[in-house]
Amino acid sequence: DTAVSQTPKYLVTQMGNDKSIKCEQNLGHDTMYWYKQDSKKFLKIMFSYNNKELIINETVPNRFSPKSPDKAHLNLHINSLELGDSAVYFCASSASGTMREQYFGPGTRLTVT
Amino acid sequence: RKEVEQDPGPFNVPEGATVAFNCTYSNSASQSFFWYRQDCRKEPKLLMSVYSSGNEDGRFTAQLNRASQYISLLIRDSKLSDSATYLCVVSWGKLQFGAGTQVVVTP
């Protein structure tokens, strides 16, 4: 059973397009995250939701909009894709709050051409 | 200064040897500490939490030094399968990942 799943695994698209990445966790966790890992392998937090409420919103362009329909799902929508958005996007979840261990999804490799 | 810093390596380690590396953090209010491992083109996976008194999990030992603001990871009897990037994570309410230390275990 997959604990944290993401779709799609690979996404290749052109500049200017809008795309979404979906994430689901079946761990019963309250907190979910989106991370971006760029070509230099640095993992940077983008957003965090706790019980469907946004609790962390790092300096991310407003072309990125997270949506949490329920506490088991956290989706990421990206408008007007740019070359610099090419990266691996990881979803993660943890039990309540940001001080607990996190479990990551397999990642979505986004390539913008 | 970065909030969480790690030596990027690579640490080239003969199979069976011991390797240790540190992670320094800048925020003295940090409360939670973790080590994750990340294999090439894979997601980070929790290796172990780091407790104040230090803790051990098989061949892996983690230590926390609050006075000097660093955590450490020691791997004994290195296996080829230990080759990975080791990420430290520090949380003070805000989570911060280090950039990772690459370990390469050679036969």
The per-residue pLDDT for range B11-47, each reduced to its tens digit, is 999 999 999 999 999 999 988 999 999 999 999 999 9
By C-alpha distance, the chain A residue nearest B49 is A101
pLDDT tier at A1 (50, 70, 90 boundaries)? low
Within 8 A of B43 by CB-CB distance, chain A residues are: 90, 104-107
Partner A contacted by B2 (CB < 8 A) = no
pLDDT at A98: 65
Question: Can you tell me the distance from the alpha carbon of A76 to that of A95, in angstroms, rounded to the nearest whole number?
Answer: 20
Answer whether residue A25 shows pLDDT above 90. Answer: yes
Nearest beta carbon to residue B43 from set A42, A44, A106? A106
Q: What percent of chain A has pLDDT over 70?
A: 96
Cα–Cα distances in Å, from B7 out to A1, A27, B4? 35, 33, 11
A107 in Cβ contact with B45 (< 8 Å): no
Partner B contacted by A95 (CB < 8 A) = no
Cα–Cα distances in Å, from A47 out to A26, A44, A71, A88, B70? 19, 10, 14, 15, 26
Query: Which pLDDT tens digit goes with each residue over A51-102?
Result: 888 887 787 899 999 999 998 999 999 999 999 999 999 999 998 766 788 9
* Six-digit token string for A48: 């965090």
Inter-chain CB proximity A99 and B46 less than 8 Å: no
Nearest beta carbon to residue B91 from set A41, A43, A99? A99
Interface A–B counts its CB contacts (< 8 A) at 44
From first CA to last CA, the distance across chain B in angstroms is: 37
A101: closest CA among B86, B34, B25?
A: B34
Q: What's chain B's average pLDDT?
A: 94
Nearest beta carbon to residue A43 from set B49, B87, B93? B87
Contacts for A59 with CB less than 8 Å, ≥ 6 apart: none
Answer whether residue B93 shows pLDDT above 80. Answer: no
pLDDT tier at B53 (50, 70, 90 boundaries)? confident
pLDDT at A64: 95
Phi-psi map region of A46: left, alpha, beta (phi>0 left; psi -120 to 50 alpha) = alpha
pLDDT at B94: 75
pLDDT at A59: 79
